[in-house]
Chain A
Amino acid sequence: MQDYSIHELELISNEIRQDIIKMLEHAGSGHSAGPLGEVEIYVALYYMILNHRPSQPNWSERDVLIQSNGHCVPVRYATMAHAGYFDRQELQTLRRFGTRLQGHPERMRLPGLESTSGPLGCGLSQAAGLALAFRLDNQEKRRIYVVMGDGELDEGNVWEAAMFVPRHKINNLVAIIDRNNIQIDGPTEDVMPLEDLKAKWSSFGWHVIEVDGNNLEDLIDAFHLSRAIIEKPTVIIAHTIPGKGVDFMEQDFAWHGSPPNHEQAVKALHELRTLKGKITSEHL
């Protein structure tokens, strides 16, 4: 695995955000806020944490990343393309007829996706089943990561899995919750209160780490720390800003399920390319 400085990872994250905006504008539908907020989670995983080979997506010793909240798949497609799984040009086929980049991820269409998701709440238990299979095959050194949304935690299936994982003493599994506080109908605490989220997971038998989910250094530290926790499974509650990087999208639940139109995309890209004026943009 190549080593990247935090600064390099930040620049990659910025490029991925631009790709997400372009993909969504071109597709004309899709979710904006979640994917933008989760960029650092995916960059940390694909560039620093996962043991994987982009040129061999089915490599038998790879770590497994399961995306439970399939609606956020644009961030995964964009990060996979940047990491070398496929050409970035293909990103523009998102949601188009015949594409490998379906509106919600389908394992059978794109190697490297690991599972098919969209209907919420099903990723953690699939990860649990996979962990049990690894145990039977003495492959417990392979680690399994599951990214979930916070709105997704309304699903009963999540809590069935939250009980199941500690019951079977699975400790090569890390759950990541994108705690961005929004879901389609509004703020999570208005729609269906989740707090005290840390206490909930602790009481279910999980080791809980809370981090700034848009801070690469904190995320990478948390992933490393999770390897040292062997008596329990780990859940990382990653506090993120929905729509991160684009001022008019940040913290606004209206952007949960909407794409930018052309004008909005131009505005967003301008903002991203200059990093809010901190760097000089390259003219694209």
Chain B
Amino acid sequence: MVKVNLVEYQKGYQKEPIRKGFGRGLLKLGQMNQQVVACCADLTESTQMLDFAKAFPNRFFEIGVAEQNLATVGSGLAAGGKIPYISSYAAFSPGRNYEQIRTTICLNNRPVKIVGSHAGVSVGPDGATHQMLEDIILMRALPNMVVISPGDSLEAEKATFQMANDNRPNYLRLAREATAIFTTNSTPFEIGPAYVYREGNDVSIIATGAMTFQALLASDQLSNEGISCEVIHVPTIKPLDQATILTSLKKTRLAITIEEGQASGGLGGAISELSTSLFPVPIFRLGINDRFGESGQPDELLNYFGLNSDNLIQTVKKIIKIKR
């Protein structure tokens, strides 16, 4: 097992929005790589592109509220040899400009870096229109696309950096609200692998984004109660690290997935598809069940939709019975 070097629980956790890591990573990347350019659809501060825009005004392009143009200008910049990061809220990009992404970026095979901020219900008071829950599904359906959903701001920073060296179209999923920083500078991250953060035998908890932190909390609580959980963090949902997932499924023969998005078709869908083909075991999926979000405080909404460690613990206790 790779040494994961997570934050020691005893030291407590700092919090920061995942999107902040993107902003930091992009700024540093801009200093190091002259080919990196950025475009934003009138949400430059909110998507954390502002520091890059101020530091490199000639490499930042304001697009206005025009997400179709955002994707296609990005495609053109990539055609000219640039590495364009294009950002908006995930509800609008890739929500509104899906066809432009499909044709001019994926089929055209232009390495545009699509950055969807404010994904998930934790967007909070803005409500359902702005809480993107289908972005993972949309992006992972596209040939050539790489789908990355970092667990915290530090990992988002690493991902932002590495995307510049990946010659494929990439989708980076970010969230608005501050969440725990549970990785460290020395926690490994590469585009592609899934990481085993806790080893266990009874059940595999497979998580992405900030839900991985909830999985860690649940795992620690459950181990006190004699249930041994294997926690797998999946920052790259596509292409999926099949070997790591299958190894775990063969060991535990029971899995539960958790993600802040629709419970079907995203991470849970990807794991289920893999399992049914190569090693069928019961897979339970936590996420939003075929409905839209609504206004509320981020924690209030996450609790309402069961996207927390408590619900994960209760669900694991329930499903573990089918093995006993």
Binding site for B on A (CB under 8 A): 106-108, 114-119, 121-122, 125-134, 136-137, 156-157, 160-161, 163-164, 167-168
Contacts and interface: CB of A to CB of B under 8 A. Distances in A.
Contact of B107 (A106, A134, A168): A106
17 contacts: A106-B107, A108-B108, A114-B79, A115-B75, A115-B104, A117-B104, A119-B100, A122-B72, A125-B68, A126-B76, A130-B79, A131-B76, A132-B76, A133-B77, A137-B80, A157-B100, A161-B72
Given A108-B108, A157-B100, A133 B80 contact: yes
B80 A134 contact: yes
Contacts of B61: 132, 168
Interface string B48-82: 00000000001101111010110011111111111
B252 to A, nearest CB: 41
Contacts of A126: 72-73, 75-76, 79, 104
B72 A157 contact: yes
A129 B74 contact: yes
B103 A129 contact: no
B117 interface: no
A55 to B, nearest CB: 21
Contact of A161 (B37, B69, B77, B78): B69
A281 B157 CA distance: 68
Which 6 A-B residue pairs are closest in the complex by CB-CB distance? Answer: A129-B76, A133-B80, A125-B72, A160-B69, A126-B76, A160-B66
Nearest to B67: A160
Interface residues of B, number: 29
Contact of A136 (B58, B66, B68, B76): B58
- Prevailing SS type, chain A contact patch: helix
B299 interface: no
Contact of A164 (B59, B63, B81, B103): B63
Contact of A116 (B58, B68, B108): B108
Contact of B100 (A122, A136, A137, A164): A122
A136 B99 contact: no
B160 interface: no
Interface string B72-114: 1111111111101000000000000001100110011100000
A164 B108 contact: no
Given A108-B108, A133-B82, A119 B103 contact: yes
Nearest to A64: B79
B76 A130 contact: yes
Nearest to A60: B81
B107 A136 contact: no
Nearest to B86: A129
B64 A164 contact: yes
B76 A127 contact: yes
A133 B79 contact: yes
Among B58, B74, B99, B108, chain A packs the most CB atoms within 10 A around the CB of B108
Given A119-B99, A119-B103, A122-B75, 13 more contacts: A116-B108, A122-B68, A122-B104, A126-B76, A126-B104, A129-B73, A130-B79, A132-B73, A132-B76, A133-B80, A136-B80, A161-B69, A161-B73
